[in-house]
C-alpha cells in the first residue's frame, strides 16, 4: 500500500469511528432518548463534533491529500483509493474555511434544535422555535459566505452540496417545467370528481401497523439482520455502515397510508445503503452518492412499485387480514384508487405523486428568498401559507400543518428539498429504462422483487460514492438527467 495512503487511513478510520458515534447519538436522540437528556448530551455532541472536525480537517490530512492527488502517487492507488482521495479532497475544500469552534457550535445547536422543533410542532408554536431557526439560518449564511467565490449566490453553494452541478439556474428551469405541466394536470384531475378514501381514516392499531410494516419492509428486501425499524416523530433512514442501516416511521392510528408508504420509502433508501459494496464499508465513499440519487431509490420503491396494482395484488389479502374490521368493505381497486388519489393536502410526506413537487417548489422558493435576504425568519409562516394558497389552492389552518411539518431546517439542511424533486425525476428515468429490460409488472405480480433489487444494486448501490448521479444515469440509460421522463410519467398516469 502507498505509504501516504496508509497514513491517511488512520485518519479515515478515526473519522469513521467518530462519525458512527455521532450518528448513534443522533439516532438515539430522535428515537429513544428521554426528554431531559439532550441538555447534557448536546454538550457531548459538541465535543465529539469538534474531534470529528479536527480529525478530518487538519494540516496533515491536507498535506497527505495533496500528495496523493499528484499523478505519480495516483498511479499506485487502486480505484477505491482514488475515489476516496478525490472525495476527501473535495469535502475538505468545503469545510476547511469554516473555523472549528463555529462548526462545533453549529453541531450543538442543531442537536438541541431537533427537540425544540419537535415540541414546537406538537404545540403548534412557531414562536418558540423561531429564535433557534433564525440562528441556524444566520450560521448557514455565514458558512456559505465563507465558501462563496466572487459573485456566487449563497443558495447555489448549498444546492451543490446535495446534488453536484445543480444551481438555481437549472432548478428554476426544472420547476418551471413542473409548474407548466403539473398545475393544469391537477386542475383536470380535480374536475373529474372525488375518489372516496375515507377508509384510510378508520382505526388502525399501532401494533398491527407495526406488524404489517415489518412484513412490508422485508417484502421489498429490507434485511433485518442488517437493519432496524423504529419509531420517531418524522420518518428517516440512518446508516452506520452497510451492515447496520436503520429506518423509522410514525404510526398514526387514524391514517394507514402514512406508515405504509413511509416504510416503503425509507426501505428504498435503506436498500441503497445495504447494497453498497463491502469493499467500501466505513470509508468516505461507503454510502449513497447524492441526495437526489438517494431519493430516486426511495421514490422508485414508494411510487413506481409501491403504488401499483401489481405490487398490491399478491399482498392485498395479508393487509385485509391484518385489519379485518377497518378494511372489510374495501376492495383492492378502491385501495389502489385511494393510494393514487391526487388531491392537494398540507403535508408533504403524505402528499400524492402529482402534488408532491409543488410542495417542494414552495420550499425551494422560500429557501431561495432566505439566502437572497429577501425575507425575515419571523415572516416565514406567512409566506409559506401564501405559497400554499397560490400553488395548491389551500391555506394551512395552523403552522403544525404548515411550516412546522418538516425536520430539515432544524438540522440546518437548506438546499436539501430540491433533491427530492430531482429524485422523482431520476426515478422516472430509471423506471422508463428498466421497464424495457425486465417485465416489472409481471415480477411484482409474482412477488419477485429480486431482479429489480439486483439491477439497482449492481448498477447503482454497490458503487457508493465512487460514481456521480449523472455518470450512472449515462451508463444505465445513455443520457444524463432528463426531466421529461418525469413529466411524461405524471401526464400518462394522471391524464387517464
The one among 25, 57, 182, 263 contacting its own copies by CB under 8 A: 25
The one among 2, 4, 16, 342 contacting its own copies by CB under 8 A: 16
- Report if residue 21 touches its own copies, rule: CB under 8 A: yes
- Report if residue 39 touches its own copies, rule: CB under 8 A: yes
| Angle of CA points 107, 108, 114, to nearest 5° | 90
Min dist CB 48 to its own copies, Å, is 5
**Interacting stretch for its own copies, rule CB under 8 A, among 25-33, 95-103, 404-412, 422-430?**
25-33
Is residue 455 a contact partner of residue 434, using CB atoms and an 8 Å limit? yes
Min dist CB 128 to its own copies, Å, is 18
Q: Which helix (H) or strand (E) holds 267?
A: helix 256-274
Is residue 246 a contact partner of residue 237, using CB atoms and an 8 Å limit? yes
- Report if residue 281 touches its own copies, rule: CB under 8 A: yes
| Angle of CA points 50, 241, 269, to nearest 5° | 110
State the cell numbers at 344: 392537494
Q: Is 73 a catalytic residue?
A: no
Min dist CB 218 to its own copies, Å, is 13
The number of residues making up the chain comes to 496
Spatial distance between the Cα atoms of 217 and 301, rounded to a whole number of angstroms: 11
The backbone torsions φ and ψ at residue 257, rounded to the nearest 5 degrees and listed phi first, read: -60, -35
Question: What is the maximum alpha-carbon separation in the chain?
Answer: 71
Residue 10 vs 447, nearer CB to its own copies: 10
The one among 9, 11, 51, 74 contacting its own copies by CB under 8 A: 51
Spatial distance between the Cα atoms of 380 and 490, rounded to a whole number of angstroms: 30
- Report if residue 47 touches its own copies, rule: CB under 8 A: yes
Spatial distance between the Cα atoms of 83 and 219, rounded to a whole number of angstroms: 34
Residue tagged active-site, from 30, 239, 266, 367: 266
The one among 13, 78, 374, 446 contacting its own copies by CB under 8 A: 13
State the cell numbers at 172: 428554476
Q: 3-state DSSP call for residue 247? A: strand
The one among 9, 14, 135, 177 contacting its own copies by CB under 8 A: 14
Q: Which of 57, 86, 81, 96 is CA-nearest to residue 6?
A: 81
- Report if residue 60 touches its own copies, rule: CB under 8 A: no
- Report if residue 101 touches its own copies, rule: CB under 8 A: no
* 126-147 and 154-162 helices, crossing angle to 10°: 90
> 272 in the Ramachandran plot: left (φ > 0), alpha (ψ -120 to 50) or beta?
alpha
The one among 243, 341, 348, 432 contacting its own copies by CB under 8 A: 243
Residue 41 vs 322, nearer CB to its own copies: 41
The one among 234, 241, 269, 400 contacting its own copies by CB under 8 A: 241
Residues 185-214 that bind its own copies (CB under 8 A): 207
Residue 148 vs 228, nearer CB to its own copies: 228
Q: Which helix (H) or strand (E) holds 327?
A: none
Spatial distance between the Cα atoms of 484 and 472, rounded to a whole number of angstroms: 18
- Report if residue 62 touches its own copies, rule: CB under 8 A: no
- Report if residue 317 touches its own copies, rule: CB under 8 A: no
- Report if residue 172 touches its own copies, rule: CB under 8 A: no
Min dist CB 22 to its own copies, Å, is 8
The one among 7, 9, 11, 20 contacting its own copies by CB under 8 A: 20
Q: What would the DSSP string read from start to end of 119-168?
A: HHHHHT-HHHHHHHHHHHHHHHHHHHHHH--TT--HHHHHHHHHSTT--H
**Interacting stretch for its own copies, rule CB under 8 A, among 240-248, 332-340, 404-412, 428-436?**
240-248
User: Any idea which residues carry the catalytic annotation?
Assistant: 266
The residue ranges that bind its own copies (CB under 8 A) are 13-14, 16-18, 20-22, 24-25, 28, 32-37, 39-41, 43-44, 47-48, 51, 207, 224-228, 230, 240-241, 243-244, 281-282
Amino acid at each position: 500500500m502507498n505509504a501516504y495512503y496508509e497514513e491517511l487511513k488512520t485518519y479515515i478510520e478515526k473519522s469513521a469511528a467518530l462519525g458512527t458515534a455521532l450518528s448513534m447519538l443522533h439516532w438515539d436522540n430522535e428515537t429513544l432518548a428521554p426528554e431531559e437528556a439532550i441538555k447534557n448530551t448536546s454538550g457531548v455532541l459538541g465535543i465529539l463534533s469538534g474531534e470529528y472536525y479536527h480529525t478530518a480537517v487538519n494540516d496533515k490530512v491536507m498535506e497527505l491529500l495533496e500528495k496523493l492527488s499528484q499523478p505519480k502517487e495516483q498511479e499506485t492507488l487502486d480505484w477505491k483509493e482514488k475515489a476516496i482521495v478525490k472525495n476527501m479532497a473535495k469535502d475538505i475544500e468545503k469545510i476547511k474555511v469554516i473555523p472549528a469552534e463555529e462548526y462545533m457550535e453549529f453541531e450543538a445547536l442543531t442537536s438541541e434544535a431537533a427537540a425544540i422543533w419537535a415540541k414546537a410542532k406538537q404545540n403548534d408554536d412557531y414562536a418558540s422555535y423561531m429564535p433557534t431557526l433564525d440562528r441556524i439560518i444566520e450560521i448557514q449564511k455565514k458558512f456559505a459566505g465563507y465558501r462563496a467565490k466572487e459573485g456566487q449566490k449563497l443558495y447555489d453553494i448549498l444546492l451543490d452540496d446535495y446534488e453536484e452541478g445543480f444551481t438555481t439556474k437549472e432548478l428554476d428551469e426544472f420547476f418551471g417545467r413542473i409548474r407548466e405541466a403539473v398545475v393544469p394536470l391537477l386542475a383536470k384531475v380535480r374536475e373529474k370528481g372525488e375518489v372516496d378514501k375515507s377508509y384510510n381514516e378508520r382505526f388502525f392499531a399501532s401494533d398491527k401497523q407495526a406488524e404489517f410494516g415489518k412484513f412490508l419492509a422485508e417484502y421489498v428486501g429490507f434485511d433485518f439482520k442488517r437493519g432496524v425499524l423504529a419509531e420517531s416523530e418524522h420518518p428517516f433512514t440512518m446508516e452506520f455502515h452497510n451492515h447496520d442501516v436503520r429506518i423509522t416511521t410514525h404510526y398514526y392510528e387514524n391514517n394507514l397510508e402514512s406508515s405504509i408508504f413511509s416504510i416503503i420509502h425509507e426501505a428504498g433508501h435503506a436498500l441503497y445503503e445495504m447494497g453498497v459494496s463491502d469493499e467500501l464499508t466505513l470509508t468516505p465513499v461507503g454510502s449513497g452518492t447524492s441526495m437526489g440519487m438517494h431519493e430516486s431509490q426511495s421514490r422508485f420503491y414508494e411510487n413506481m412499485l409501491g403504488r401499483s396494482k401489481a405490487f398490491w395484488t399478491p399482498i392485498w389479502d395479508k393487509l385485509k387480514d391484518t385489519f379485518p374490521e377497518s378494511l372489510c368493505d374495501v376492495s383492492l381497486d378502491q385501495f389502489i384508487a385511494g393510494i393514487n388519489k391526487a388531491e392537494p393536502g398540507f403535508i408533504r410526506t403524505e402528499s400524492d405523486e402529482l402534488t408532491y413537487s409543488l410542495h417542494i417548489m414552495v420550499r425551494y422558493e422560500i429557501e431561495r428568498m432566505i439566502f437572497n435576504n429577501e425575507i425575515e425568519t419571523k415572516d416565514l409562516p406567512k409566506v409559506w401559507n401564501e405559497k400554499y394558497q397560490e400553488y395548491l389552492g389551500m391555506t394551512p389552518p395552523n403552522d403544525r400543518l404548515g411550516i412546522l411539518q418538516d425536520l430539515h431546517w432544524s438540522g440546518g439542511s437548506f438546499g436539501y428539498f430540491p433533491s427530492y424533486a430531482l429524485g422523482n425525476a431520476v426515478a422516472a428515468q430509471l423506471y422508463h429504462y428498466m421497464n424495457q429490460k425486465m417485465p416489472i409488472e409481471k415480477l411484482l405480480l409474482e412477488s419477485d422483487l429480486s431482479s429489480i433489487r439486483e439491477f439497482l444494486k449492481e448498477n447503482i448501490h454497490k458503487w457508493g460514492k465512487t460514481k456521480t448521479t449523472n455518470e450512472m444515469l449515462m451508463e444505465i440509460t445513455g443520457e444524463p438527467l432528463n426531466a421529461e421522463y418525469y413529466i411524461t410519467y405524471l401526464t400518462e398516469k394522471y391524464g387517464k
